[in-house]
Amino acid sequence: MSQYIKMSALYAPTLKEDPNEAELASHRLLLRAGMIRRLAAGIYSYLPLAWRAIKKAEQIVREEMDAIGSQEILMPIVQPAELWHESGRWDDYGPELMRLTDRHDRAFALGPTHEEVITTLVKNELKSYKQLPVHMYQIQTKFRDEIRPRFGLLRGREFVMKDAYSFDVSEEALDKTYQAYKGAYERICERMRIDYRAVQADSGQIGGSETIEFMALAESGESDLLFCDCGFAADAEAATAGIQVESYKDGELLEEHTPNIKTIEGLAEFLHIKTRQTVKAMALIDSDGNKVLAFIPGSHELNEIKVSAVLGNNFRIMEDEDLQEASLVKGFIGPIGMKDRGIRTIADVSLKELPYWLVGANKADYHMSGATPGRDFDEPEYFDLALAQEGDSCPQCGHELQSARGIEISQIFKLGTKYSESLQAHFVDEDGEEKPFVMGCYGVGVSRSVAAVIEQYHDEYGIKWPVSIAPYEVSVIALSVDENIVFPVAEKLAQAFDDNGIDVVLDDRNERAGVKFADNDLMGFPYQVICGTRNIEKGQVELKDRHTGEKELIDIDKVVDYLSEKIKAQR
């Protein structure tokens, strides 16, 4: 017989006031409910309640990994720098990589991800196509020196991740493994009750071809998603959408007097036109230090990831000195005459369809309308440069895209041979030839998922845990503890829930009813069994559903079976 926990003994130091530093609900509520404490920026202790939720989330992930044949391992956190040099990521990963040196002055990294380690692990030991596929996972603390650690567990510098890696003989075989992970990731989201969308993403830092992000829908999310009724969904940064552009004036090149108009919005307002009838100029410096002008529809923003693909990762926006040096007038920059000045011009593909551009005249207070590429200025090079947005047309069906915000909770990648080639990890194929493994990698932010669940499940009073990851599924609340009527019943119920395998906490504290209700709502246990003198005298207790707020009276001898069944159906 196990011993259920009593609230009087539970270490959950609640806060009366909202902590100043917490902007988002999950951050605020985790702190207020005494579930996490900050040690340094982005570095937290998980107190008993949060840790129980995280362990339940881990267990869901573990079960779904085991179900697709992934094998659990645990790799070192401390990783020798040589591995990262071999893959090229010691430099590429940048300042997010936490680095340290040992007493012999050897350099190491604290693992932000484990492609290098696992590839080295299987290299020379996993040798034959007959052994493949092999895929393994671990659940472990990861380290990333985030530039802006914030929002509590959503963006930490130290956080819990499940990372998995797969080794296959070919792209086709990888696709099978990848689809199995996709299914597992969908089930993980569903079991945590996360309202999510699987979106096409950009493979960025990790490299590789195909990748999907699983996004928890939340206003507070840092990612912009675009989706369509046809089923298309993408991270806005990765989307290539159709952008509507329109000319302002057709025909000849005309000078337009636009005094003191320095922004696209100002220009559109001044001329009584839409922003999409204007062309926005972005003055940039590429990774090699060359000046470049990028033109995009005035209605849109620049997509930095797409620009990096053209100008290199270290491109930047021109500062005032750069503009001066290039004799460019802020607010009035245009493409005319740039070739003679030796400045490269690039433009978003959507502008290829625009015959007459409204652009800066390269002198203060003037724009030019009717500017035609090839006639009035040299044809720029066209690339996909603009950040897709709501209202653009869907690349799959052409309908208008809708937008939402999301929190990335997990991501799957087809890596291909990037790491097996750089780290020389080969197997011998059926035809006797040596080939690099075809790899995939798959990550779930476990601690972030728990915070994302809170973003989706809370109200003004506190957290509303879904049963599947609730630290406790029921709290039995004993009102007026010194009465010998209430306490024996509450204890008996708590014990009976415990015997039924339900995670139960008994609120046995010597506190006013109001305090108990407030704390239980804050901590967010899905069900409260409220034991008060008057109801007990009638042989009843009150059952409160934290999600709906509904209360019902139930016979004392029925409540345990009734609720246990309800809870087990939601696990």
CA–CA dist 341, 353 (Å, integer)? 26
Q: Of 133, 156, 373, 436, which one interacts with ligand ATP (CB under 6 A)? A: 156
Nearer to ligand ATP, 145 or 400 (CB): 145
Nearer to Mg ion, 148 or 534 (CB): 148
Would you tell me the crossing angle of helices 48-67 and 171-191 to the nearest 10 degrees?
Answer: 140
Would you tell me the crossing angle of helices 446-456 and 25-32 to the nearest 10 degrees?
Answer: 100
Contacts (CB under 6 A) with ligand ATP, residues 104-133: 113
For the chain, how are helix, strand and coil distributed in percent, rounded to 5? 30, 30, 40
Q: Is 332 helix (H, G, I), strand (E, B) or coil?
A: coil
CA–CA dist 504, 525 (Å, integer)? 9
Q: Closest approach of Cβ 451 to ligand ATP, in Å?
A: 8
Instruction: Say which entry of Mg ion, ligand ATP, none residue 156 contacts (CB below 5 to 8 A, set by partner kind).
Output: ligand ATP
CA–CA dist 360, 255 (Å, integer)? 10
Contact between residue 253 and residue 368 where contact means Cβ atoms under 8 Å apart? yes
Q: Closest approach of Cβ 221 to ligand ATP, in Å?
A: 10
- Partners of 403 in the β-ladder: 226
Contact between residue 184 and residue 68 where contact means Cβ atoms under 8 Å apart? yes
Q: Closest approach of Cβ 447 to ligand ATP, in Å?
A: 6
Tell me the residue length of the chain.
Answer: 571
Instruction: Say which entry of Mg ion, ligand ATP, none residue 280 contacts (CB below 5 to 8 A, set by partner kind).
Output: none
Residue window 403-422: x/- pattern of binding to Mg ion, with contact defined by CB under 5 A: --------x-----------
Structure tokens at 120: 């080295």
Nearer to ligand ATP, 447 or 535 (CB): 447
Nearer to Mg ion, 178 or 527 (CB): 178
Cis peptide bond N-terminal to 112, omega within 30: no
Which residues lie closer than 8 Å to 19 by C-beta, 6 or more apart? 28, 31, 32
The letter for the amino acid at 211 is T
Nearer to ligand ATP, 131 or 209 (CB): 209
Contacts (CB under 6 A) with ligand ATP, residues 264-283: none
Q: Is 46 helix (H, G, I), strand (E, B) or coil?
A: strand
Nearer to ligand ATP, 154 or 283 (CB): 154
Q: Of 144, 291, 306, 544, which one interacts with ligand ATP (CB under 6 A)? A: 144
Q: Of 278, 411, 456, 468, which one interacts with ligand ATP (CB under 6 A)? A: 411
Contact between residue 165 and residue 75 where contact means Cβ atoms under 8 Å apart? no
87 interacts with ligand ATP by CB under 6 A: no
Query: Looking at residue 406, what DSSP letter applies?
Result: E
Residue least distant from ligand ATP (Cβ): 445
Contact between residue 452 and residue 216 where contact means Cβ atoms under 8 Å apart? yes
Q: Closest approach of Cβ 152 to Mg ion, in Å?
A: 19
Instruction: Say which entry of Mg ion, ligand ATP, none residue 158 contacts (CB below 5 to 8 A, set by partner kind).
Output: none
- Region binding ligand ATP by CB under 6 A among candidate stretches 43-51, 277-285, 342-350, 442-450: 442-450
Reported as half-sphere exposure (CB side, CA atoms, 13 A), residue 204 has a value of 14
Please count the residues of this chain forming the interface with ligand ATP, following the rule CB under 6 A.
15
Q: Closest approach of Cβ 159 to ligand ATP, in Å?
A: 4
Q: Of 152, 221, 331, 443, which one interacts with ligand ATP (CB under 6 A)? A: 443
Q: Closest approach of Cβ 158 to ligand ATP, in Å?
A: 8
Nearer to ligand ATP, 111 or 297 (CB): 111
Structure tokens at 199: 């979106």
The letter for the amino acid at 181 is Y
409 interacts with ligand ATP by CB under 6 A: yes
Instruction: Say which entry of Mg ion, ligand ATP, none residue 155 contacts (CB below 5 to 8 A, set by partner kind).
Output: ligand ATP
Q: Of 52, 191, 448, 544, which one interacts with ligand ATP (CB under 6 A)? A: 448
Residue least distant from Mg ion (Cβ): 411
CA distances from 16 to 188, 286, 431, 519, 546 (A): 34, 52, 69, 10, 20
Instruction: Say which entry of ligand ATP, Mg ion, none residue 52 contacts (CB below 5 to 8 A, set by partner kind).
Output: none
161 interacts with ligand ATP by CB under 6 A: yes
Nearer to Mg ion, 411 or 422 (CB): 411
Nearer to ligand ATP, 150 or 492 (CB): 150
Structure tokens at 440: 């995939």
159 interacts with ligand ATP by CB under 6 A: yes
CA–CA dist 428, 448 (Å, integer)? 39
Contact between residue 295 and residue 281 where contact means Cβ atoms under 8 Å apart? yes
If you write DSSP's letter for every residue of 260-293 in order, what string do you get?
A: T--SHHHHHHHHT--GGGSEEEEEEE-TTS-EEE
Instruction: By CB under 5 A, name the binding residues for Mg ion.
Output: 411
Instruction: By CB under 6 A, name the binding residues for ligand ATP.
Output: 113, 144, 146, 155-156, 159, 161, 408-411, 443, 445, 447-448
